[in-house]
Chain A
Amino acid sequence: MKVKRIIALALALVMCFAFAACNNDDAQTNDPGMTNAEEGQTAENMTFAKEGTLMIGGIGPLTGDNAQYGNAVKLGAELAVKEINATGGINGYEVAFRMEDDVSQEEKAVTAYNNLKDWGMQMLMGTVTSAPCKAVSTETEADNMFLLTPSGSSVDCIEPDTAFRVCFSDPNQGVGAADYISANSLATKIGIIYNSSDTYSTGIKDKFVEVAPSKGLEVVGEEAFTNDSATDFNAQLTNLRDAGAELLFLPIYYTPASLIMTQAKAMGYTPLYFGSDGMDGILGMDNIDTTLVEGVMYLTPFIESSTDEATAKFVKSFTAAYPDQTQYMNQFAADAYDAMFIIKAAAEKANVTPDMEISAIGDAMKVAMTEITVNGVTGTGITWDASGEPTKQPRVAKIVNGEITAA
């Protein structure tokens, strides 16, 4: 009997420790998200015009396969919040930002959303990836909470009235490309080679073909390939050359694109090339022949070497704030950085205050979003319509002398 009692006591003790350990763990896992703690300290030294804090939540993968994206968004957003607070906050109120991990999974994203609501979130900057964003947008619709996704690019991410996005949706890259080609008079006769076994590629191509005539562009040929026939493009290239295409629009990833360029060069066909953001990375291919990709242009939200004011400022303050984490200075960080300033612009337009109900903020923000114009890192003159899709002058990268430059 005595032995049993001792064992029971020991087990009880173990349990106590286990719980204590759990609590500890909780505190630790929450820590990376708790920027408001440090923020709060700096905020004490700062003086804000008005009492009260606007609570903005963020959701994204901070661990797991897509952690690269989530961490970039977190750093970009925190940088923007710091700058916003340093210049007096939003409408004179301090801004608090807290990011929760969703491991890029739908259920975890919804849990993160509920955690953030318990914390007091009034607006959501997220989520980072498309599938969780779709799941969370159903929740925000029920709460009429304002949602701004920095990088959820699939069409159905922003179905609710109060949901908006910073990046182009996948198909809208087709519009951006057509706009740019026509505004800069790159060419009028366009040939397209797209991957018919890929929705990303087909979506961009369909949208491009739809808007091209209204921009004065003539699509002289649409040629397809599939994942299984992505090696030989001579037939497609011959057809497009004979149709007189001066520019090839390639809404595809860079590996088949590099083969297309090699084969076109071999047959003595030298059109201009214009790609979607899938082309980003072509210069990073091992042993790439830089003369092959010279002059290639593609859409991308962020070009590090760009000399425009917004990008230069972002690159400078990012490297100053996170000297050890410059690997995160990518399009996701740029999207999130822009997202925070977009929220600021819209909240100031709508005169949002911390004492407003979540739903009232949502109603005010969805009107204000359609009235603002933002010049950001990921594009200039960004405006929104009620659908939540941004319209912006896209950033276009051009490869010059083997370097990515802003076109």
Chain B
Amino acid sequence: MKFLSQLISGISLGSIYSLIALGYTMVYGIAKMLNFAHGDVIMIGAFVVYTACVTGGLSPVLGVLLAIVVCTILGVVIERLAYKPLRAAASLAVLITAIGVSYFLQNMALLVFGSDTKQFSSVVSLEPVSLANGNLVITGETIVTIVVSLIIMIALYLFVNRTKPGKAMLAVSEDKGAAQLMGINVNGMIALTFAIGSALAAIAGALLCSAYPALSPYTGAMPGIKAFVAAVFGGIGSIPGAMVGGILLGIIENLSKGYISSQLSDAIVFAVLILVLLLRPTGIMGKKINEKV
């Protein structure tokens, strides 16, 4: 029973990682850049929901929709101001810029919202499912997060592989120059990628803070890094990989907390990551790319 209960906690933590990792992997897969500010866009999304629902008194659905709109605009603006001028620069420069944007967002939030932790009100009103005389409880947040992650995963997969803008995105990710010659608006496609990634961040922010209702300007930072690990774990750039990587990471983290040591859990998680990368350098579901010489 204890094992099942620890497993369920692991899945619920993992489903959050999956949801965040989907955003990471989406941007990496198309724009080939690590958007380290993703975790902080999540935090901004959560603050928008908090402000709309708690301070403004809007319904949770409206709050989340508003957050999606704000984050989408924010994502596109960040891309236009911070990343687009560096399109031709080395990838390291873009990476450092992303870290800069991350700190910028955190400090902006500190200025605007202050450093006090805020108690987030859950946007999920689903009742928890109680099994085995209340010894196993699956919260409404967990169920909603898993369902939402699955829907987003399938929708993204279909969008990228079946629709015209999706295929254009794939073309951009494979070869920017060739895509441009074929008449694809490369900058437009990358902006679209960021718009989608940031919209996902808004949803992730709302669900992250519903499951763990302490909201501060640093809320997004650590889950963002863990979700990045999950994305690498599953194979960065692979949409189903992000889902699988997130869930596995959550389960490993929780079982090592529950059965080995609550102090060492992070060390164990990263040790497993190293092991996986040694055996499968592209991650669990990552595609092996053979460079043609």
Q: Interface of A with B (CB < 8 Å)? A: 196, 223-226, 228-232, 234-236, 238-239, 242, 254-256, 258-259, 262-263, 266-268, 284-289
Contact = CB atoms under 8 A, between A and B. Distances in A.
5 contacts: A232-B254, A234-B13, A235-B10, A259-B212, A287-B119
B262 A225 contact: yes
B263 A238 contact: no
A226 B262 CA distance: 9
B130 A255 contact: no
Given A232-B212, A238-B6, A238-B9, A285 B258 contact: no
A226 B213 CA distance: 18
Given A255-B117, A256-B214, A286-B116, 14 more contacts: A223-B262, A224-B262, A231-B214, A231-B222, A232-B253, A234-B13, A235-B10, A235-B257, A242-B2, A255-B214, A266-B128, A285-B118, A287-B54, A289-B119
B5 interface: yes
Contacts of A255: 117, 214, 216
Contacts of A285: 116-119
Nearest to B222: A228
B183 interface: no
Given A226-B266, A238-B6, A266-B139, A232 B117 contact: no
B13 A232 contact: yes
Interface in B223-272: 223, 253-255, 257-258, 261-263, 265-266
Looking at A235, A238, A242, A258, which has the most chain B CB atoms within 10 Å of its CB? A235
A206 B118 CA distance: 30
Interface residues of B, number: 36
A238 B212 contact: no
B102 interface: no
A344 to B, nearest CB: 39
Contacts of A238: 2, 5-6, 9, 258
B137 A267 contact: yes
Contacts of B118: 285-287
Contacts of A228: 222, 266
A224 B214 contact: no
Contact of A287 (B121, B262, B263): B121
A238 B258 CA distance: 8
Contacts of B266: 226, 228-229
A269 to B, nearest CB: 9
Nearest to A231: B212
A105 to B, nearest CB: 23
Contacts of A232: 9, 13, 212, 253-254
A288 B262 contact: no
Contacts of B139: 266
Contacts of B222: 228-231
By Cβ-Cβ distance, the 5 closest A-B pairs, closest first, are A234-B9, A235-B257, A235-B258, A286-B118, A224-B263
A224 B12 CA distance: 20
Nearest to B225: A228
Given A196-B263, A266-B139, A287-B119, A231 B223 contact: yes
B134 interface: yes
A168 to B, nearest CB: 25
A259 B120 CA distance: 11
A287 B212 CA distance: 14
A288 B213 CA distance: 10
Interface string B5-28: 110011011000000000000000
Contacts of A226: 263, 266
A223 B257 CA distance: 9
Looking at B134, B214, B253, B266, which has the most chain A CB atoms within 10 Å of its CB? B214
Given A232-B254, A242-B2, A287-B54, A262 B213 contact: yes
Contacts of A230: 222
